[in-house]
Amino acid sequence: MSTSTVCVDASFVLRMFLGPDDVEAWEWWEAALADGTDFTAPSLLGYEAANVLHRYARAGYLSAASAEIVLDALLELPIVLESDSSLHLAALRLAGHFRLSATYDAHYLALADRLGAELWTADAEVAHRLEGQGLRVRLLGGTRGPRAGHEAQNPGAPDDDGTSKAYCSLSINHQGPKI
């Protein structure tokens, strides 16, 4: 049994519960747990998850009660949440270095970098920006598609393709999430 650490971002953790690739996410999670992996994330994970679930409920894709159930389950996962001033400073620097539109994603990256951990994400744009930078990033779904999020002028509003974007890069499609 090996002991390693994985930093998970909000897009990955929310996909575990809302899909569309929840089966794959849970397969990764269960295999890593069986191997003795520790999970970590910046403390903003809970804030981002709550925000996305609120947007899903406001958009009518799930009930407020379902959003609460998902948030409760998500917060019960064995993920060590971390926050300190040096993490925020590192995130600010990394956001500038990688030209990220916000520091949210950079907090996960800063924590993964600090711990020498792999970062698991469902955010294709972040994974693409970090490609070839010597960082270990694992993209859920393994494909690089259009970005689903941070640059949206009105997160949660439908785009030209009929999808809505949630703030932490989790797409809401016209059929709604799996729950």
**What average pLDDT does range 155-173 have in this prediction?**
33
- Please check whether residue 55 lies inside any domain of the structure: yes
- Please check whether residue 98 lies inside any domain of the structure: no
What are the C-alpha distances in Å from 134 to residues 91, 131, 143, 145?
Answer: 17, 8, 19, 21
- Please check whether residue 86 lies inside any domain of the structure: no
Confidence band of 72 (pLDDT split at 50, 70, 90):
very high
- Please check whether residue 46 lies inside any domain of the structure: yes
Distance between CA atoms of 7 and 100, rounded to whole angstroms? 18
- Please check whether residue 89 lies inside any domain of the structure: no
Cα 177 from chain centroid (whole Å): 15
- Number of structural domains (the chain) is 1
Query: Tokens representing 18?
Result: 């809302």
- Please check whether residue 23 lies inside any domain of the structure: yes
CB 26 within 8 A of CB 13: no
CB 138 within 8 A of CB 147: no
**What average pLDDT does range 90-119 have in this prediction?**
93
CB 124 within 8 A of CB 171: no
Confidence band of 2 (pLDDT split at 50, 70, 90):
low
pLDDT of residue 142: 62
Q: Which of 29-33, 93-97, 124-128, 142-146 has the lowest mean pLDDT?
A: 142-146
- Please check whether residue 9 lies inside any domain of the structure: yes
109: enclosing H helix or E strand: helix 104-115
What is the number of other CB atoms lying within 10 angstroms of the CB of residue 11? 27
- Please check whether residue 99 lies inside any domain of the structure: no
Domain hosting residue 16, numbered range: 5-81+109-172
Q: Which of 28-37, 72-81, 148-157 has the lowest mean pLDDT?
A: 148-157
Greatest CA separation found in the chain? 48
Does residue 155 surpass a pLDDT of 80?
A: no
Distance between CA atoms of 176 and 162, rounded to whole angstroms? 11
Distance between CA atoms of 161 and 74, rounded to whole angstroms? 29
